[in-house]
A and B are shown apart, each in its own frame.
Chain A
Amino acid sequence: MTIDMKKSAKNLATDTGVSRRGFVKGAAAVTGAAIGSGAITGFPTIWAQNIKNVTLRQFGTGVSNINAVADKVKEDLGFTLQMTALDSDAVAQRAVTQPNSFDIADIEYWICKKVFPAGTMQPMDTTKLKNYDAISKLFITGKLTPDSEIAQGTAPHTVGFVEGADSVEFASAPTQWMTLIPTIYNADTLGIRPDLIDRPIDSWADLLDPAFKGKASILNIPSIGIMDAAMVCEAMGEVSYGDKGNMTKEEIDKTIAVMIDAKKAGQFRAFWKSFDESVNLMASGEVVIQSMWSPAVAAVRSKGIACKYQPLKEGYRAWGGGIGLAKHLSGLELEAAYEYIDWYLSGWVGAYLNRQGYYSAAPATAQKFMSEDEWGFWMEGKAAQGDILSPDGKVMEKAGAVRDGGSYEERMGSVACWNSVMDENKHMIRKWNEFIAA
């Protein structure tokens, strides 16, 4: 940080020969930012020249650490974004233990609940974001539409705001200070191999159906796996929960007992921890039904193997991530970070994420960057008119295909539970380890 500031200062001294074009471009950016932020501090022209020298280090889970985004940032905003992809555990660990190793944290909301109170991040001033109002209400009030029900678990809006600029206390209602700007989210369900299963699947309980003995899998990330397990147990009628996202010890024990019985009976072929493992298990036919993530389903399909992201009557388990600022950011770098975050909401990334099968946090801005057919397929649940391409131009779906689960409202409107971290987390993890060791 100190070194970067020195570098900036040095460039300030030497970088006097700015080309006219660069100057005009810079000035335009400043004007834009000035309108957006409504607060010009310091010397904007100087800032515009030097923003090119800023490097922001972002780290997060693989899903949204996309190199195309970094390239587009360089093109649109002029500064460099370095991305590091880690798994969720490592992300949480690094955010807490190495607060100076990152500028922007790209984390999930349930991780935020763990990490933000450690005080290594700073909340964002929403008045500085011109696209704030475009953010889906799901992240502000927790309700997709005014009459939808708030799902269980760590719903993003419950950890989306803090009381003040220096606070680490989550606010119960929206404030001016946002912990994470939502970027990416989705509704997860079970993936199945329709070619190897000869009956309709419509419930989470089907995961433990003895018909699939030795051919089922569940993900082995305790905080997410327990939720899938809870969806299954609830659907089977074995356990009833007050709040699946914050279970009591007794509920955890019962859930794990059901899972241990299933494991001992040989229900599971394997447990997976990484995206690739889930793809390989499904593609090789080792497993025909398992917890899965949307792009993993797409990856299996792209190998020409039938795979369905099966909607289930009990609803989805949803997750969401966002980007937040490191505590140590200030001055020019902080301004650049705000600029980046506002840009993130302005539509290009949103369209990119939508095309991958995730959802953008600001759907209205993303729509401007998508064709009508793309919007119809991904967001409205309509049959594709032409081939649907992935962001890198590969054919994902042929004309006539309909998205599994239907429209945005149908999918995000039937969320039963959000990924979460529980009060009894320690107990839950111990019990989960018993399940794995059983």
Chain B
Amino acid sequence: MASDTSKRSSYFLISPMAAIFAIFLVIPLLTIVVVSFWDYDEYRILPDFIFENYSYLLGSSVTWKIYLNTLKYAALTWGFTLLIGFTVAYFLAFHVRSLTWQIVLFMVCTIPFWTSNIIRMISWIPFLGRNGLLNSALINLGIVDQPLEFLLFSDFAVVLADVHLYTLFMVVPIFNSMMRIDRSLIEAARDAGASGFETLKSVIVPLSKPGIAIGSIFVITVVMGDFITVRLMSGGQSASVGLQISNEIGLLQYPAAAASAVVLLITVLLIVTGLLRLVDIRKEL
């Protein structure tokens, strides 16, 4: 009897959250799934139940190329942000001794976020261009004779901008995990004769895993869905899944865009599931 009441009251208590999820997540998602089976022509979407959107999407070599390209960007960005993010977090957590300085330096990391990410991205363009600051400097210093063309409108530029934009997403959760590591564990490792590198490998990295996983989820999902960085930094010459969806929406091909969105969602969910299999982030929360 008593357990019944508590059951009912807990259903009651979760209902606002459930309603919000239903209205803002489940219903829109279902709509996208439904529309992905519709037909379309140049200016209308036609209710229908066809698999043409999916069969074209999955059968086209363009899709595979675009997915490979997007995964390449995601993997490279993930690798670099992890390396940089882990290093920065390690420095903040273990080398900076005073809490005040930790806070100050942490704030410094967030300063770039005070401007819009479009601005941060676009500022790279005049810097990296053929007659840009970097190329002029390199030529004036006599390091190169010809301007380096690969700097802008290339995969290099895309990954550079992504790393610049998203490294903080890696720093924050890793720093958070590291701050929770009991310092006596490190002392114990040292007392037991472990070198600095062994301590890092056997103590710090395993205990930072939840932070790494959370950071990775942030970075990978953002890069997988990104379209504006790819468009601006590749000079429109490369494609990503997000860009493909954005183009389809622009051309009123909503069903095709919906199908692409569903496939992308499944892909990202698979990646996230894989990550969660490797690391139990619930321990962290």
| Residues of A that sit less than 8 Å from B by CB | 87, 89-90, 92-93, 96, 114-115, 117-118, 214, 217, 220, 222, 263, 268-273, 280-281, 284-286, 421, 425-426, 429-430, 433-434, 436-438
Question: Residues on B close to A: CB < 8 A?
Answer: 41-44, 56, 60-62, 65-66, 69, 125-126, 129-132, 149, 152-153, 231, 234-239, 244, 247, 249-253
Contact pick for B252, options A93, A220, A438, CB 8 Å: A93
Q: Which residues of B contact A115 (CB under 8 A)?
A: 43
Report Cα–Cα, A90/B56, bound state, in Å. 25
**Please, how many angstroms separate the alpha-carbon atoms of A214 and B239 in the complex?**
18
Partner of B153, one of A263, A286, A421, A430: A286
Contact B252 A273 (CB under 8 A): no
Question: Can you report 29 A-B residue pairs in the complex whose CB atoms are below 8 A from each other?
Answer: A89-B250, A92-B43, A118-B43, A118-B44, A214-B149, A269-B235, A270-B153, A270-B234, A270-B236, A271-B235, A271-B236, A272-B235, A273-B231, A273-B236, A280-B125, A284-B130, A286-B152, A421-B42, A426-B253, A430-B56, A430-B60, A430-B62, A433-B244, A433-B247, A436-B237, A436-B238, A437-B65, A437-B239, A437-B244
CB-defined contacts of A268 to chain B, threshold 8 Å: 237
SS class of chain B's interface: helix, strand, loop or mixed?
loop
B250–A93 touching, CB < 8 Å:
yes
Q: A222 contacts B251, CB within 8 Å?
A: yes
Chain B neighbourhood of A433, CB < 8 A: 62, 239, 244, 247
Which chain A residues border B60 with CB–CB below 8 Å?
430
Instruction: From B43, B65, B69, B149, give the contact of A96 (CB < 8 A).
Output: B43
Among B56, B126, B250, B252, which residue has its beta carbon within 8 angstroms of that of A284? B126
Q: Give every chain B residue within 8 A of A90 (Cβ-Cβ).
A: 250
Q: With A222-B251, A433-B244, A437-B66 in contact, is A263–B43 under 8 Å at CB?
A: no
Contact of B236 among A118, A272, A284 (CB under 8 A): A272
Do A92 and B252 have beta carbons less than 8 Å apart?
yes
Q: Contact between B235 and A429 (Cβ–Cβ < 8 Å)?
A: no
Residues of B contacting A220 in the complex (Cβ-Cβ under 8 angstroms): 236
Instruction: Determine the residue in chain A with the shortest Cβ distance to B130.
Output: A286
- Asked if B69 and A284 make an inter-chain contact with CB atoms under 8 angstroms apart, the answer reads no
Instruction: Give chain A residues whose Cβ lies under 8 Å from the Cβ of B56.
Output: 430
Chain A: minimal CB distance from B123 (Å): 13
CB contact under 8 A between A437 and B62, given known A269-B153, A429-B251 = yes
